[in-house]
Amino acid sequence: MGHQSTFHAPHGAADFLGYRTRAGETEIVYDDGVTRRMIWRVAAAAGAEGRISDALRAAVNAHRILPSLYDELKKRAIAIERVAG
Q: Which residues contact 4 (CB under 8 A, 6 or more apart)?
A: 53, 57
**What's the total number of domains in the chain?**
1
Domain holding 35, by residue range, is: 6-84
Q: Are the C-beta atoms of residues 50 and 58 closer than 8 Å to each other?
A: no
Is the model more confident about 16 or about 11? 16
Instruction: Give 12-42 pLDDT, tens digit per residue.
Output: 677 889 988 888 888 999 988 888 899 999 9
User: Does residue 1 form part of some domain?
Assistant: no
DSSP state of 23: T
User: Does residue 72 form part of some domain?
Assistant: yes
Instruction: Give 35-73 pLDDT, tens digit per residue.
Output: 889 999 998 766 778 899 999 999 988 888 899 999 999
Give pTM, 2 decimals. 0.82
User: Does residue 58 form part of some domain?
Assistant: yes
Q: Are the C-beta atoms of residues 76 and 51 closer than 8 Å to each other?
A: yes
